[in-house]
A and B are shown apart, each in its own frame.
Chain A
Amino acid sequence: DAGVTQSPTHLIKTRGQQVTLRCSPKSGHDTVSWYQQALGQGPQFIFQYYEEEERQRGNFPDRFSGHQFPNYSSELNVNALLLGDSALYLCASSLAISPRGTNEKLFFGSGTQLSVL
């Protein structure tokens, strides 16, 4: 049984470009959350998708957008890249069994390391 898979593993972009990161959740999971982790920092919540809709969003600008597909996989899009967007982007999947997110056990992928030059 495959866990959470993310692609690509590494990506290099230049300022102003756009990027799309992909995530396939653990088998049987229906909820996908995205996190940004800067070097030496804890993961910061970007947003969560459930039933193909954004259920909640963290303090990230509209340049960050996402999508969830009927098979529960998800994409994270970042437009107009800034140097400060360089980070490890983590996808986590879970089962949405309650409206209280903390009760869910998150399964994380290994992340996509994005470097913006």
Chain B
Amino acid sequence: LAKTTQPISMDSYEGQEVNITCSHNNIATNDYITWYQQFPSQGPRFIIQGYKTKVTNEVASLFIPADRKSSTLSLPRVSLSDTAVYYCLVGDGDSSYKLIFGSGTRLLVRP
């Protein structure tokens, strides 16, 4: 089974850039890497998705090295509202539909 590893928690301050790294083995050749954000008592919300190199949208950037065994979510200039749990999601290399959430990284943004 594919397994992902993320830091359990991270602290930051408003206005800083935050980088969260996810390690993943057995990622399938055709699979994408997706990051989700979750606030308490809500379902996860899609942030960004990528296959390789770098992807950027209006809220984040995603960096994926050539071997694709890890990925880094970059949040520029975080605010208090970015306090949430961030999950790295990859397909299971053995069973493509069995999507595996990582343990999640609890990001706390302080004033």
Contact = CB atoms under 8 A, between A and B. Distances in A.
B42 A42 contact: no
Contacts of A42: 87, 101-104
Nearest to A103: B32
A7 interface: no
B44 A101 contact: no
Contacts, number: 79
Interface string A74-112: 000000000000001011100000111111011111110
Interface size class of B (residues with CB under 8 A): 20 to 34
A99 B96 contact: yes
B10 to A, nearest CB: 16
A45 B100 contact: yes
23 contacts: A4-B43, A33-B99, A41-B103, A42-B103, A45-B100, A45-B101, A48-B97, A56-B96, A57-B98, A91-B43, A98-B30, A101-B97, A101-B98, A102-B32, A102-B33, A102-B89, A102-B99, A105-B46, A106-B44, A107-B46, A108-B44, A110-B41, A113-B41
Interface of A: 4, 33, 35, 41-45, 48, 55-58, 88, 90-92, 98-103, 105-111, 113
